[in-house]
Amino acid sequence: MAAYTVDTLFDPPLTLFQPETGYRFSLDPVILAGHVLPGPKDRVMDIGCGCGILCLILAGRHPEISITGIEIQKDLADLAQKNAVCNHMADRIRIRHQDIQTLSVTDLPAPMDLIVSNPPYKKKSTGRVNPDRGRALARHEITLDIDTLAACAHAFLRPEGRLILIFPASRTADLTVALGHAGFWIDWIRHVHFCVNDAAQRVLVSAVKSGSGSATRCPPLYLYHPDGTPTRAYSALFEW
């Protein structure tokens, strides 16, 4: 395994092993975790789990759920497993080193109740592709685009199961079209602004398999005040 750092967050703390170089988790999975409310005993899947940060937060907040993390990069999958063991959550978090496109419904013990993802967000043909392979796979749609993710999630969910994603606000239209084509309906959407006076940078979307209805537009989430101090909503993201 490549060199890694050991970081902590939350109180009492999670211990997190991350690559010393290459892809390291951002604020996005922490924001996403703050908007996921699984039911008791829910079967949850994290598509593209990286080093497992989202799995760890959800397992820590919801001790009755079971989580399957899918990660295509072996070094990150190994770290995700290490993190689950280190934080005494290996009995509830299962990590699979696998391309989601090769995973079959029959590989799962049962359909998922909830799927979450902080997927690659840049189109393959746009922007500079990072020379670091790990960062490139995490940021650009090289091995997984939003259409494929939506189709896979739909296949793995039970009827009326839920998919919750965080994605660039600038690609909201791409996301909603992909979800619609896959057979989802969006039941709520929330824009995330890094600062009160800034345009939205991220969008959170919750979609239900094989449902129907109109989407609820939730109040925007602001992370920082104009003077740079964090909002109460931001601080709450790091609380159990």
**HEC states along 116-184?**
EECCCCECCCCCCCCCCHHHHHHHECCCCCHHHHHHHHHHHEEEEEEEEEEEEHHHHHHHHHHHHHHCE
Q: For the residues 182-202, what does the mean pLDDT come to?
A: 97
pLDDT above 70 for 130: no
Q: Is the pTM of this model over 0.85?
A: yes
pLDDT digits (tens, 9 = 90+) for 48-98: 999 999 999 999 999 999 999 999 999 999 999 999 999 999 999 999 999
Q: 138 falls in which pLDDT band (50, 70, 90)?
A: very low
Domains of the chain: total: 1
The two tokens of residue 158 are: 């039970």
Residues whose CB is less than 8 angstroms from the CB of residue 151 and which lie 6 or more positions away in sequence, other chains included:
182
Place of tokens 């925007």: 220
CA distance 65 to 77: 20
The pLDDT of residue 20: 86
pLDDT digits (tens, 9 = 90+) for 10-36: 999 999 999 988 778 899 999 999 999
CA distance 50 to 25: 8
CA distance 240 to 238: 7
| Cis, bond preceding 12 (omega within 30 deg of 0) | yes
Residues whose CB is less than 8 angstroms from the CB of residue 15 and which lie 6 or more positions away in sequence, other chains included:
6, 7, 8, 83, 86, 87
Task: Report the Cα–Cα distance between both ends of the chain, in Å, rounded.
Answer: 30
Structural domain boundaries enclosing 186? 4-236
Cβ–Cβ under 8 Å, residues 48 and 121: no
| Helices assigned H by DSSP within the chain | 28-33, 53-61, 74-86, 133-139, 146-156, 172-182, 232-236
The pLDDT of residue 25: 85
For helices 146-156 and 172-182, the axis angle rounded to 10 degrees is 40
pLDDT digits (tens, 9 = 90+) for 150-191: 999 999 999 999 999 999 999 999 999 999 999 999 999 999
Cβ–Cβ under 8 Å, residues 55 and 30: no
- Chain-wide mean pLDDT for the chain? 91
List the CATH number of the domain containing 226: 3.40.50.150
